[in-house]
Structures are given as structure tokens and as C-alpha cells.
């Protein structure tokens, strides 16, 4: 599903050049649950942004669903992303001005789905996440765990083939964290590919394969 | 998707009501000024368009060439021109004379002074578009003893009674019948009237020769045929004119009526188009300042929308859609502001009309005008939203969603540039407005060479006749009256000129153009003219009725030494120059003082009485004067007029521009400061951490306030440096055509810059003090 070949990413300012990723090559098969681990600053989030087509590599290639995504324009990447990828973030990243329903509905708007179909799909997902009773509430009115469930709902509402999770339990207590990890596991069991960035060993155990990064390079891999 | 955008927009507006209000108020104020000025400009540009022959309608003007080589341009033409053009040139489809001369009209026991009475040829209805309510346009002026009245005028005379057939007496000389009633003519035409009389009555009432070349006093209007070539026609006319009068130094030309209102006839002078440019520029400045406010506030607060942009990009939006979203938001706010601006326009239109001396109405908006306003609103929305949309759409999800975006940092340079631009425009407005104020004060206070205080001027539209000396005697017996004189023009606004004056050694081929005033022996004492050589007229010397006074400029041009006793003649009056008066301003100070002579012959043409009062209680003095006039001229409709008002009226346009600009400048300053206030609040919030840390390390409140004020103050200083040379250029251009103007003093520039800096500092002072007084403990606890 995903293949990276000698991926690198260099951040440049006027005076400083930082190599966030250096010759990263690996593959992810469809239906895999992969955890990317490493200390702070090792390039995990940078890698996730590139895999999620949110950023371009400085060199190397990224193949997504057998297409070389590296030379794609921003518009092409946006199109590929909205059709195939869902994101879950550590700090939830819900839009404060939209209520739960409207937040979850957002990806479907960009897919051009009709209002009737959107409503049906969002209601279904909210039921699954057991948050439908709060659909008119705003993020500021929800607990952390509830917010993350909404974020997961948003990530899966468009039936993506890939979910990218960047420290999804980072801002949650253990109970809610485990809830979220169980949801991700269930999704994976249904066939959704999951790539999760974490430095939580407990969360990593939910995955079936772990890649360890250090200073922008893959130093080990365990299954 | 649109619903989603709208929901987010309105919830964001409600979330920050103060900033939202500042944005909407600022744009509304800018749009309101834009609408008012657009209405004003449209009214000016539409001058004379009410006449359906507009595209073929021309006014004849003369270029007179005199000794000295400076041509004199005038719209005034002789009575003989109309029959000459109509008879001799097939290109001329129609031609009329049009002369506005005040008359006195009597009906029953009512007496009216009609300032807007026009004498015109009978085919006037073929040339101008006049809407008839009653009467037949083809026959209404057939009988020379006819009058056409407007509805408003007829109502004054006859109330609701039918005016047709009623008899009115003109100047106690002739009776006329009301033969037609027409709708009031629009204000924006040069050819208006309250009453219209056949041109033949000029002979009956004023003794004018209707086929004379020597005196220019009326307008000649022509409709030219489609195939007429103006240059060829002018050549033909002037060729024939030269054949008729080889001595003539005058050429005739045709000017489209579309040019009359805005362009000066004399190409060396500025016309109303300068005023249009000044006011339009000011409105554009104001709108720009409002748009900059919007851009600045939107980008400064961009961090509040950064997360949303990041999320939208994550879930599938591309940059184009983000740009569309924010441009759409800006357009909606612009239209919302437009709606509010319509309300504000309705509210302020009466005041604006008073300032501008107009009768603008929103009900006059044409479809084109309305579409133009909508276009303006769209432009404002797109312009204001352009930079914020481009800026916000650049946010990368990878930066914003991790919270690594430093709030307000990236747009700092843009904000600085925008604040500098805002204050540059504001300072330019302040400087220009101050100089217009100064010019008016200069004009008010300048020694003009005659005393214009405490002088009544009364205009008689019929002959004063021998009863005048009775009147003078009775008036001078009042202790409140010092002097009484008669003259043909108000001494502060003399419009007559002639090239017929002769003296020994003068250029008889080209002649010299003189302005002239006809007045009697009491003129000098009444208006306090200064005699620098010789003496004034003396009623003890009967020969003085053939003698002359000249001004210093005339004395220089005549060049005879000694000037006193030099021979001087005009119109068959041969006499001597008995005195030289100090040059005095008798016209707009835009013009230099031209040569002038004063004669006391032909005072039968003089129909203005000037009365110098000397009283503490002016109202009582005026009442006494009125009583005396009523005794001697019982039919005279007394209308109090002061020489000082006549003088002020000359500068009416400058006063209007000054008053409008005054409000614009205040508004510009207000909007700029409003934006600065909001911006400073926001930036103060961002700088809290820095200021608190400084405080912890020993900075005093004063030092922190100083740092914050300097952060904004330096932008305004830079604005001042940019604004001054631009303002110097605009002020110099404005005064270029003024022969007399207030000095372009450096202190005005300095005062405006310092004023702007002071106001900007005051604006941010509150935020600076608030931040400086923040308790570090409270802040650092939540870091």
C-alpha cells in the first residue's frame, strides 16, 4: 500500500539546516497495523506528515497505492488524501466553531456527498463511537476522551483505506487511552491499515509491527 | 459546503464581537464615504445630461486677445451672435440666446425679487429639455408679453389657483401673461430658471439692443447637426466675423456642454474637476484605510484560524478552496458592511447635502449606479480579503496542528507595512485639509484693500431714478448710517470688463482689458478705498462725472507720469484720471489683480446700493434702514444682504471642500486609530510573555510602556517621513493656480505628523499600561 524509497526531509532556515529524515525506506502492506517509535525529535511526526501527503519529501520517493506521490501537486495530494486517508491527532484538532456533527461531517463535504447521505453516514459513525447523544455539542463542552472519539469518528467517516494516528492517546488518561486503542484495533481488524506514531510502549503493543526511528533513520524493526 | 462556511463565519464573528464590530464599522464608514462621494461625483458628471440634445449641445465662448498677449476667455457673448450663427451656417440646427437677469415681479399686492429669471429666444424648448405641466411649448412664447414659470415659483405667487392667464408686472415697466407652467428644472444643469421671458423683453425692460456686437452679457447655445465639424465651423465663423469686423480681436468657439461644469474655460486655470479629484482621492484614501484595517486585523488574528485551516487541509481541502472560503467570508462581511453603509448614507445624506450645497437623493440612483455600488462592494470585499486569504491558505497542517506556529509572527512585516500605509494616507489627508482651512482663513483675514464689514448691499432690479437722492438723504439722516453709495457691481465681486478704454499712447490696435466699476462719489468713503495718489470723486466738482479713478495695476500699465491729470476715455466719456486707489481684491484670489478703472458716469446703470452702518445694534439699524427704503420705494422687496456675505460666497466651493474634508480626515484618523487599538490589544496579548519576563528581570512599568509605545510609534514616524513629500506635492499642485495663497509653512507638516504620532501613542497607551501592570506571578503560573 505504501512504499518509501530513500526518503529524506531537510528543514532549512536562513542559518540552520536540519535533516529530519535521512534515507528512510520501508513498506506498509494493506491491513497492517504499524507503530513508529522513537525519542522526541527523531522525525516520527515528519514521517507521518509525508506518509499522509501533508508534506513533500526533500528527496526520495513515496509510493501510495502504487502511485508515486512525490511529484504530485498540492491539489492532487489533497484529492488522494481525502479519498483514502484519515488522521487522528494527539490534541484532537477539532474545529471549535463546529459542533460534533459538523466536525465529523467535514471530510464528507470535501468529497461532495449529498446532504442526505452525509447525515446518514455521520449518524451511523456517531452511533458506533457512542457519542451520538452529544452531536449538537461543541468541542469545548466535551471531555478529552469524548473529543478523541469525535476525532476518530471524523477520521473514519469517509471509509479511508489508511488511518494515520499521531500519538492518539497522548492527551488522555489510561482508561480513555485504552478505549481509543481498542477502537483503532477494531478498525484494523476490519481491514483498515493503521500507522501510529507513539512513544508509549503500551500503545505500541496493539500494533503488529514496530519501526524504531532515531535521528531521522530507521534503526530497527520488530514484529 | 457553503452552509459550513457560513456557519463558521458567523460563529467566528460572534466569538470576537469587538474585532468583528471594528471590521464591519470600519468598512461601513469607508463604504459610506465612498457612496456619498460617488453620488456627488455622478451629480457633477451628469451636469446638463437632463437635456436630450446633450450630445449635440454647445455653448459658444470667446477668446479675446489684448495688448500684453494674454488671451481672455469668456462665455459671455453679444446679442447679435445668435442671428448671425442661425442665418449663416447650415451646421447650426438651432441657436438660442439665454440670459439670466434678476427682475422684480409684482402680482396683486405681492412683490418678488426673482434672481433666476431668464430671457431666451422662443425656440428655447427645441434646444433645452423643459417638461411642460400646463401650456403649449410651441406657442407659449409666441407673444412677447409671456412668461413661463416653474411649478414651485407659480405656487409662491398663486397658491393652488390656476396660473395660466394671470398677469404679472415686471420691473414696473411691462405686464406679462403666464402662458405655461413647467416642472422645476434639475439642479445639475447650468441652464435653470424660475421664470422664463422672451428675449424681446430685454429691450423693453432693460433697453438692450438685440442685434448688437459691442456688449457681451448673455449665453449663446447651439445644437449642431450630426455631420458638423467643430474646427471647420469655427474657422468659417471666425472668417466671416473677421470679414464683418476686420478690427475684431475676438474669436468664437464651440464648447460641448459636457465640459462646462468641470473644466475651466481658461485652460490656464483649474475647474471643478480639481475638486472632483480632491474629493474622490479622499474617499479612496478612506476606503483604503478601512480595507487595510480589515487586512491587518485578519492577518494578526490568523493564528485563531490556523488550526481550522490545518484541519481542513487534512480532511481534504486544497489551498484553492481555503482561499475561496476566506475570500467568501470577506465578501459576506463586505456586503454586510454595505447594508450598514446604506443606512449610514441615509442618515448622513441631509448633512452631506448641506455641506456640499446639493440635493442628492438615494431615490435618484439609476440601475447603473446601483450596479456600480455593488461592484465597489465586491471589489472592497475581494481586495480586503485577498491578503488574508492568501496568507491563511499558506498554513501547513504540519506546522499548525502541532501548535508550533508562533502566533502573529509571520504576518508582522505585512502588518507594519499596512499600518505605515494607513497612517501615511491619514497624514496626507490631515495636511491637505489643514492647508485648505488655512487658505480660507487667509482669505478671510487678508487685507483685501477695502473694508467689507458692516456694509449692507441692496440690489435693485429696476431703475433707481431720481428717488435715489431722496433715499440717500433720508438714510444719511439716520445716526446709524455713515455713507451711502451706488454701484453697478458689489465692490468685492466685480465681473465687468471692457477693452475700449483709451489714453495717450495706448495700443489702439489690440486694446487692453480693464475691469470696471461704475459708482458715485461716495464709493471711496463707503467701502474705505485707499487713495494713494490724487483724490476720489467729489460731488462739488460736476466734471468728476467724466473723470476716472484707476487702481495701481492700471496706473502701471498706462505708464504715464504723472498719472494724475492724464487723459482717459471710454464709451464717449472723455475725462481725466484724478486718483489712484491701492490695488484691492475684487474677485477670487485665484486671479491676480487686473487693471481696474472706476467711473461715475452712467450711474443710471448702477442698481446696487451699498450702505455703511455704524451701530452697536445692527439688527435695529437694519430695521431702520428697511423702514426708510419702504417709505421711498414702497414696492421694493427688501432682502438684507451683507457685502461680507457676497465676499464669502466667492469662496463657497472652498468652504464646501473644507467642510467635507474635515469630516473625512476625522473619520480617517478614527478608523486608523480603531484599527491600531485592536491591533495593539492583540499584539499586547502576544507580547505579554516578553513584557512579563522583562519585568521579572527588573524593567520598570515606565520602561515597558515605553517599549510598547515605541513598537507602534516608530511605524507612525516612518509614515510621517513618507507622507510629507507627497503632501507637499499635492498642496503645491492645489495652490499652483492661486495668485494669492497662504504660505506653505513647514509647521503645518510638522504639526500634522506630531498630531498623528500623539494620537497613535494615546491609542496604544491604555494597552501598554495594562500590559506593563500585569502581575508576572499570575501570568507565569499558566505558562
Contact A98 B7 (CB under 8 A): yes
Model pLDDT, residue B781: 54
Chain B contacts of A46, Cβ < 8 Å?
A: 398
Residue B15 CB contacts under 8 Å (≥ 6 apart), including other chains:
A97
3-state helix, strand, coil in chain A (%, to 5): 35, 30, 35
DSSP conformational letter for B654 = H
- Cell of residue B320, nine digits: 484553492
CA atoms within 13 A on the CB side of B254: 26
Model pLDDT, residue B376: 92
CA atoms of B287 and B36, how far apart (whole Å): 12
Lowest mean pLDDT among A35-39, B409-413, B706-710, B713-717: B409-413
Contact B311 A46 (CB under 8 A): no
Model pLDDT, residue B405: 53
Lowest mean pLDDT among B42-51, B175-184, B560-569, B584-593: B584-593
Query: Does position B201 have pLDDT exceeding 90, yes or no?
Result: yes
Average pLDDT over residues B685-705: 78
8 Å CB contact between A21 and A218:
no
Query: Does position B506 have pLDDT exceeding 60, yes or no?
Result: yes
Chain A contacts of B398, Cβ < 8 Å?
A: 45-46, 49, 54-55
As a whole number of Å, the CA-based R_g of chain A is 17
Contact A102 B307 (CB under 8 A): no
Output B699 or B631, whichever has higher pLDDT: B631
CA atoms of A148 and A150, how far apart (whole Å): 5
DSSP conformational letter for B265 = S
Average pLDDT over residues A9-15: 81
pTM of the model: 0.84
* H helical segments located in B510-551: 523-527
Is the sign of the CA dihedral B46, B51, B52, B56 positive or negative?
A: negative
Across the interface, of A97, A105, A110, the residue whose CB is closest to B11 is A97
Average pLDDT over residues A202-210: 88
Average pLDDT over residues B172-181: 93
Q: What percent of chain B has pLDDT over 90?
A: 50
Q: Is A41 helix (H, G, I), strand (E, B) or coil?
A: coil
Model pLDDT, residue B548: 96
Model pLDDT, residue B123: 93
Chain A contacts of B401, Cβ < 8 Å?
A: 89, 91, 93
Per-residue burial over B466-497, b if 16 or more Cβ lie within 10 Å, else e, is: eebeebbebbeebebbbbbbbbbbbbbebebb
Model pLDDT, residue B783: 42
Q: How confident is the model at residue B723 (pLDDT cuts 50, 70, 90)?
A: very high
Instruction: Find which of B141-155, B410-424, B670-684 is predicted with most confidence, using mean pLDDT.
Output: B141-155
CA atoms of B344 and B223, how far apart (whole Å): 42
Query: Does position B752 have pLDDT exceeding 80, yes or no?
Result: yes
Model pLDDT, residue B57: 96
Lowest mean pLDDT among B622-626, B668-672, B684-688: B684-688
Q: Is A110 on the interface with B (CB under 8 A)?
A: yes
8 Å CB contact between B85 and B92:
yes
Average per-residue pLDDT in chain B?
88
Average per-residue pLDDT in chain A?
89
Model pLDDT, residue B679: 80
Query: Does position B597 have pLDDT exceeding 90, yes or no?
Result: yes
Across the interface, of B1, B307, B396, the residue whose CB is closest to A93 is B307
Model pLDDT, residue B782: 47
* Cα angle B452, B454, B456; round to 5: 90
Average pLDDT over residues B285-304: 83
Q: Is A89 on the interface with B (CB under 8 A)?
A: yes
Span B42-66, pLDDT tens digits: 999 999 999 999 999 999 999 998 8
Name the minimum distance, in Å, from the CA of A92 to any CA of chain B. 9
Residue spans of beta strands (DSSP E) within B286-372: none
Longest dimension (CA), chain A: 53
Query: Does position B778 have pLDDT exceeding 70, yes or no?
Result: no
Instruction: Find which of B116-120, B281-285, B462-466 is predicted with most confidence, using mean pLDDT.
Output: B116-120
* H helical segments located in A85-143: 100-110, 115-128
8 Å CB contact between B8 and B253:
no
Model pLDDT, residue B676: 82
Hey, what's the torsion of the CAs at B568, B571, B572, B573, to 10 degrees?
-50
Span A95-153, pLDDT tens digits: 988 999 999 999 999 998 999 999 999 999 999 888 899 999 999 999 988 999 999 99
Q: Is B12 on the interface with A (CB under 8 A)?
A: yes
Q: Is B312 on the interface with A (CB under 8 A)?
A: yes
Across the interface, of B307, B315, B320, the residue whose CB is closest to A82 is B315
8 Å CB contact between B467 and B501:
no
Across the interface, of B15, B317, B398, the residue whose CB is closest to A78 is B317
Span B386-411, pLDDT tens digits: 988 988 888 888 777 766 555 555 56
Q: How confident is the model at residue A164 (pLDDT cuts 50, 70, 90)?
A: very high
Across the interface, of A55, A94, A102, the residue whose CB is closest to B398 is A55
DSSP β-bridge partners for residue B71: B65
8 Å CB contact between B119 and B99:
yes
Lowest mean pLDDT among A32-36, B50-54, B171-175, B267-271: B267-271
Chain B contacts of A95, Cβ < 8 Å?
A: 8, 307-308, 311
Span B329-385, pLDDT tens digits: 999 999 999 999 999 999 999 999 998 888 899 998 999 999 999 999 999 999 989
CA atoms of B144 and B37, how far apart (whole Å): 44
Residue B371 CB contacts under 8 Å (≥ 6 apart), including other chains:
none
Per-residue burial over B100-125, b if 16 or more Cβ lie within 10 Å, else e, is: bbebbbbbeeebbbbeebbbbbbbbb
Model pLDDT, residue B464: 63
Contact B316 A75 (CB under 8 A): no
Amino acid at each position: 500500500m505504501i512504499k518509501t524509497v530513500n526518503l529524506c526531509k531537510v528543514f532549512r532556515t536562513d542559518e540552520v539546516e536540519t535533516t529530519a529524515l535521512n534515507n528512510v525506506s520501508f513498506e506498509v502492506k494493506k491491513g497492517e497495523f504499524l507503530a513508529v517509535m522513537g525519542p522526541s525529535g527523531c522525525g516520527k511526526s515528519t514521517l507521518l506528515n509525508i506518509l499522509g501527503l501533508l508534506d513533500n519529501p526533500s528527496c526520495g520517493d513515496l509510493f501510495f497505492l502504487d502511485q508515486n506521490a512525490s511529484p504530485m501537486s498540492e491539489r492532487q495530494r489533497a484529492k488522494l488524501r481525502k479519498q483514502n486517508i484519515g488522521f487522528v491527532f494527539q490534541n484532537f484538532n477539532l474545529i471549535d466553531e463546529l459542533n460534533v456533527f459538523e466536525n465529523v461531517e467535514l471530510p464528507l463535504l470535501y468529497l461532495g456527498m449529498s446532504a442526505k447521505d452525509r447525515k446518514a453516514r455521520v449518524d451511523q459513525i456517531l452511533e458506533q463511537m457512542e457519542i451520538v447523544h452529544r452531536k449538537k455539542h461543541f468541542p469545548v463542552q466535551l471531555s478529552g476522551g469524548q473529543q478523541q472519539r469525535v476525532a476518530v469518528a471524523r477520521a473514519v467517516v469517509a471509509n479511508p483505506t489508511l488511518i494515520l494516528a499521531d500519538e492518539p492517546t497522548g492527551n488522555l488518561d489510561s482508561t480513555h487511552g485504552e478505549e481509543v486503542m481498542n477502537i483503532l484495533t477494531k478498525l484494523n481488524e476490519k481491514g483498515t491499515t493503521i500507522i501510529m506514531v507513539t512513544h508509549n510502549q503500551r500503545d505500541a503493543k496493539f500494533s503488529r509491527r514496530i519501526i524504531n526511528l532515531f535521528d531521522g533513520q530507521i534503526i530497527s524493526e520488530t514484529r | 459546503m457553503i452552509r459550513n462556511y457560513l456557519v463558521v463565519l458567523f460563529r467566528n464573528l460572534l466569538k470576537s464581537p469587538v474585532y468583528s464590530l471594528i471590521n464591519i464599522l470600519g468598512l461601513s464608514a469607508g463604504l459610506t464615504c465612498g457612496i456619498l462621494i460617488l453620488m456627488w461625483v455622478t451629480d457633477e458628471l451628469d451636469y446638463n445630461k437632463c437635456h436630450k440634445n446633450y450630445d449635440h449641445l454647445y455653448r459658444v465662448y470667446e477668446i479675446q486677445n489684448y495688448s500684453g498677449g494674454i488671451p481672455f476667455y469668456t462665455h459671455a457673448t453679444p446679442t447679435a451672435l445668435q442671428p448671425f450663427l442661425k442665418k449663416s451656417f447650415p451646421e447650426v440646427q438651432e441657436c438660442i440666446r439665454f440670459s439670466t437677469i434678476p427682475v422684480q415681479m409684482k402680482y396683486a399686492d405681492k412683490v418678488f425679487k426673482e434672481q433666476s429669471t431668464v430671457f431666451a429666444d422662443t425656440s428655447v424648448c427645441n434646444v433645452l429639455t423643459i417638461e411642460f405641466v400646463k401650456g403649449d411649448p410651441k406657442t407659449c412664447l409666441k407673444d412677447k408679453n409671456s412668461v413661463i414659470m416653474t411649478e414651485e415659483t407659480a405656487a409662491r405667487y398663486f397658491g393652488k389657483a390656476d396660473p395660466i392667464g394671470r398677469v404679472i408686472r415686471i420691473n414696473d415697466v411691462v405686464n406679462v401673461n403666464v402662458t405655461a407652467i413647467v416642472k422645476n428644472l434639475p439642479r445639475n444643469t447650468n441652464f435653470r430658471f424660475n421664470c422664463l421671458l422672451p428675449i424681446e423683453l430685454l429691450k423693453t425692460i432693460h433697453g438692450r439692443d438685440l442685434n448688437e456686437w459691442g456688449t457681451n452679457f448673455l449665453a449663446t447655445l447651439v445644437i449642431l447637426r450630426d455631420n458638423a465639424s467643430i474646427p471647420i465651423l469655427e474657422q468659417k465663423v471666425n472668417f466671416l466675423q473677421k470679414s464683418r469686423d476686420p478690427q475684431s480681436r475676438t474669436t468664437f468657439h464651440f464648447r460641448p456642454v459636457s465640459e462646462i461644469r468641470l473644466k475651466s474655460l481658461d485652460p490656464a486655470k483649474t475647474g471643478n474637476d480639481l475638486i472632483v479629484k480632491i474629493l474622490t482621492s479622499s474617499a479612496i484614501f478612506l476606503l483604503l484605510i478601512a480595507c487595510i484595517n480589515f487586512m491587518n486585523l485578519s492577518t494578526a488574528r490568523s493564528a485563531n484560524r490556523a488550526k481550522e485551516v490545518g484541519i481542513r487541509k487534512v480532511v481534504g481541502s486544497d489551498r484553492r478552496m481555503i482561499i475561496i472560503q476566506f475570500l467568501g467570508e470577506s465578501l459576506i462581511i463586505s456586503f454586510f458592511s454595505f447594508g450598514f453603509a446604506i443606512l449610514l448614507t441615509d442618515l448622513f445624506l441631509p448633512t452631506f447635502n448641506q455641506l456640499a450645497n446639493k440635493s442628492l437623493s438615494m431615490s435618484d440612483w439609476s440601475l447603473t449606479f446601483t450596479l456600480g455600488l455593488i461592484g465597489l462592494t465586491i471589489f472592497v470585499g475581494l481586495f480586503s480579503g485577498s491578503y488574508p486569504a492568501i496568507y491563511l491558505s499558506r498554513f501547513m497542517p504540519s506546522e499548525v496542528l502541532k501548535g508550533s506556529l508562533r502566533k502573529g509572527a509571520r504576518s508582522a512585516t505585512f502588518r507594519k507595512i499596512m499600518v505605515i500605509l494607513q497612517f501615511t494616507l491619514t497624514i496626507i489627508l490631515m495636511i491637505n485639509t489643514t492647508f485648505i482651512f488655512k487658505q480660507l482663513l487667509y482669505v478671510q483675514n487678508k487685507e483685501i484693500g477695502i473694508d467689507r464689514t458692516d456694509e449692507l448691499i441692496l440690489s435693485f432690479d429696476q431703475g433707481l431714478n431720481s428717488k435715489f437722492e431722496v433715499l440717500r438723504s433720508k438714510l444719511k439722516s439716520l445716526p446709524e448710517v455713515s455713507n451711502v453709495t451706488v454701484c453697478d457691481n458689489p465692490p468685492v465681486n466685480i465681473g465687468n470688463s471692457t477693452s475700449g478704454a483709451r489714453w495717450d499712447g495706448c495700443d489702439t490696435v489690440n486694446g487692453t482689458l480693464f475691469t470696471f466699476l461704475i459708482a458715485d462719489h461716495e464709493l471711496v468713503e463707503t467701502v474705505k478705498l485707499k487713495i494713494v495718489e490724487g483724490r476720489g470723486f467729489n460731488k462739488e466738482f460736476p466734471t468728476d462725472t467724466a473723470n476716472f479713478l484707476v487702481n495701481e495695476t492700471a496706473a502701471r500699465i498706462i505708464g504715464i507720469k504723472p498719472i494724475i491729470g492724464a487723459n482717459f476715455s471710454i464709451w464717449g466719456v472723455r475725462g481725466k484720471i484724478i486718483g489712484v486707489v491701492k490695488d484691492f481684491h475684487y474677485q477670487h484670489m485665484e486671479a491676480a489683480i487686473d487693471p481696474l478703472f472706476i467711473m461715475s458716469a452712467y450711474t443710471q446703470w448702477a442698481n446696487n446700493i451699498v450702505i455703511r452702518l455704524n451701530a452697536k445694534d445692527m439688527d435695529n439699524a437694519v430695521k431702520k434702514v428697511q423702514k426708510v427704503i419702504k417709505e421711498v420705494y414702497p414696492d421694493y422687496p427688501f432682502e438684507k444682504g451683507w457685502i461680507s456675505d457676497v465676499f464669502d460666497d466667492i469662496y463657497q466651493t472652498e468652504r464646501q471642500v473644507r467642510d467635507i474634508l474635515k469630516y473625512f480626515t476625522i473619520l480617517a484618523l478614527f478608523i486608523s486609530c480603531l484599527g491600531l487599538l485592536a491591533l495593539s490589544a492583540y499584539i499586547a496579548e502576544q507580547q505579554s510573555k516578553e513584557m512579563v519576563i522583562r519585568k521579572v528581570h527588573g524593567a520598570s512599568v515606565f520602561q515597558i510602556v515605553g517599549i510598547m509605545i515605541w513598537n507602534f510609534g516608530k511605524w507612525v514616524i516612518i509614515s510621517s517621513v513618507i507622507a510629507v513629500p507627497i503632501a507637499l506635492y499635492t498642496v503645491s499642485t492645489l495652490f499652483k493656480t492661486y495668485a494669492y495663497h497662504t504660505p506653505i509653512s513647514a509647521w503645518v507638516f510638522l504639526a500634522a505628523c506630531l498630531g498623528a504620532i500623539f494620537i497613535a501613542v494615546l491609542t496604544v497607551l491604555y494597552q501598554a499600561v495594562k500590559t506593563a501592570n500585569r502581575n508576572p506571578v499570575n501570568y507565569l503560573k499558566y505558562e
